[in-house]
Amino acid sequence: METVRHSEHTLKTALISENPALVSQYKKLDAGERRLLNEAFKPDHDLFEPITLHSPSDWIISHPEAPQDFEQFFSDPYRKAPSPEKHSIYIQCIGSLGNSRIISDEYIKWLKGYCEAFFYGLTVKLLEPVPVSATRCSFRVNENTQNLQIHAGHILKFLKKKKPADAFCIVGITMIDLYPRDSWNFVFGQASLTDGAGQVDR
């Protein structure tokens, strides 16, 4: 096993920018947000814990990517930002998320709360759950796992049509396996940054 661990200096360099536009945002942080920012880089803090790589098939090893610091992310011309007109995250449940409606409702309640905390300042709204049949997506039975799988690209098209006018993005949630094309075994999720739509499975 291999462990990826970043030093306090590396984290600060990557996340704290001298870009004037970002510096002005830092000045607007309240006392609690500044404390979190300062403490987050300390070695004993759990916000940036070491990442353990268990095998060569782990994503970081098998899909090497160039690093990106926060300033690069902030300056990316393709980055979308919320606006007063588009300020809501919509969650669309597809199919059942548990053995009962109560379990599904509890799961969605937890997910909504997490999104509201993580994407602080944005409104998180729940769309009425729909059965898989409503998406009119293709499906298959995986020949290795014998699990039912639904086509991720077709789900994306469905979500784009369902996206409300005030949505910053719409996210589909399902407990059913996804596959992006016939040659792939499965995929955990798929998204379109330009369309502000995506979906994930369990």
Domain of 123, CATH number, reads: 3.40.390.10
Q: Residues 95, 186: one domain? A: yes
Amino acid 202: pLDDT: 64
Q: Residues 56, 97: one domain? A: no
CA dihedral of residues 70, 71, 75, 81 (deg, nearest 10): 40
Q: Residues 30, 67: one domain? A: yes
Report residue 39 as tokens: 């403490």
Q: Residues 50, 92: one domain? A: no
Amino acid 180: pLDDT: 92
Q: Residues 161, 125: one domain? A: yes
Amino acid 15: pLDDT: 82
Write out residues in the chain with pLDDT < 50, as ranges.
none
Amino acid 35: pLDDT: 85
Domain annotation covers residue 82:
no
Amino acid 92: pLDDT: 95
Domain annotation covers residue 118:
yes
Alpha carbon 190 to chain centroid, angstroms? 10
Backbone angles phi, psi at 176, to 5 degrees: -95, 140
4-45 per-position pLDDT tens digit: 888 888 888 888 888 898 889 888 888 888 888 888 777 777
- Strand ranges (DSSP E) for 25-154? 51-53, 88-93, 123-126, 139-141, 148-151
- Round to whole Å and give the CA distance between 169 and 196: 4
Q: Say if CB 97 and CB 108 are below 8 A apart.
A: yes
Q: Give residue 92's domain range.
A: 88-201
Q: Residues 43, 98: one domain? A: no
Q: Residues 108, 45: one domain? A: no
Give the number of domains in the chain. 2
Strands 177-179 vs 197-201: parallel, antiparallel or unpaired: unpaired
Amino acid 59: pLDDT: 81
Q: Residues 38, 115: one domain? A: no
Token pair 């792939």 in the structure block, residue: 184
